[in-house]
Amino acid sequence: MKDKKILPILAGVTTSIIFGFSFLFTKEALDYINPFDLLSLRFGTAALVLISLRSMGIIKTDYKGKNIKALFVLALFQPVLYFIFEIMGVSRTTTSEAGIMMALIPIVVTCLASVFLKEIPSKPQVASVFISLFGVCFVVLMKDMSTSGSILGIFFLIGAVFCAAILNILSRKLSISFKPAEITLFMMCIGALFFNGISILNHGIKGDMLNYIIKLKEIKVVIAVLYLGVLSSVVAFFLTNYNLSKLEASRAAVFANLTTVISVFAGVFIRKESFTIYQFLGTCMILLGVWGTNYYGEKKEIRIKARDALVE
């Protein structure tokens, strides 16, 4: 019985660590390779791993008679648009800032759910959303205005946040028809085809395909591709689904806050990036807002269930 409680927590912590360090490995690889080449290698690796797992029968998929067009819409936002925004943002900001911005995803999900799913947030949730938004504004406005590239990077990351939030909304509807493995395999394959297509076209126009292959000799690029393609895109996926199957969504969402903490730690202590007091204060406001949104959302669900039980 004790193991049943501990294992989901270990899965959540492990997933947060993997996602938290993903920004670090992305930054490390971008020192040697251009963004779209990194994405092509990442998704190519992830797709090959998942296709291999499917061939061995470890994961099972069946797309017959299902709405494939809906999956294409989903894949447009994630991985295509999301990772374009994310990698352009990460390449222009620090590891810490990337992690801080990604903490906003639950906040944007709450806002979009109120519009598209008619899940109206409570007043405390609305207040929590504004606390997080104020934290983001604080981080952006307090930056040195001379570092225009870094500010542009933050706006790219905000674009990634919106794409991830839209993915969350679409996934809720598609999960009725598709299994998680079917959605993930489709997304990884679309990402592999799209980003490899861009890389091949780009290097073909420049006539430097050999240079693309030479980059694979860089050990940091190889390590980053394996980490992002296998751990972040495959292992973390299985752990996330296991975690969600054992814990309530509100409790599972708490682990997302740990991802931000890990990314800040990786940036400051491994890449030796600066982390100023305004970034610390902004991070605290964002995490406080995320916690409030989840906490009061859970209380709202309890009240609704209690009310429905009385009606019955």
pLDDT 10s digits, 71-96: 999 899 988 999 999 999 988 888 88
Round to whole Å and give the CA distance between 186 and 74: 10
Round to whole Å and give the CA distance between 22 and 262: 10
pLDDT value, residue 76: 93
Query: Would you report the helix, strand and coil content of the chain in percent, each value rounded to 5?
Result: 85, 0, 15
Pick left, alpha or beta for residue 218 (phi over 0 → left; psi -120 to 50 → alpha; otherwise beta): beta
pLDDT value, residue 298: 64
DSSP secondary structure of 254-289: THHHHHHHHHHHIIIIIS-----HHHHHHHHHHHHH
Round to whole Å and give the CA distance between 252 and 237: 14
User: Does pLDDT of 153 surpass 60?
Assistant: yes
How many degrees, rounded to 5, is the angle at CA 29 between CA 23 and CA 32?
Answer: 150
- The better pLDDT of the pair 185, 135 is held by 185
Asked if residues 234 and 58 have their Cβ atoms less than 8 Å apart, the reply is no
Work out the average pLDDT over 63-73: 90
pLDDT value, residue 245: 60
Burial 218-254 (b: 16+ CB within 10 A, else e): eeebeebbebbbbbbbbebbbbbbebbebbeebbbbb
pLDDT value, residue 304: 58
Is the dihedral angle over the CA atoms 57, 238, 167, 86 positive or is it negative? negative
User: Does pLDDT of 164 surpass 70?
Assistant: yes
- The better pLDDT of the pair 118, 225 is held by 225
- The better pLDDT of the pair 190, 177 is held by 190
User: Does pLDDT of 160 surpass 50?
Assistant: yes
Predicted confidence band at 191 (pLDDT cuts at 50, 70, 90)? very high
Phi first, then psi, for residue 177 (nearest 5°) are -100, -30
pLDDT value, residue 152: 85
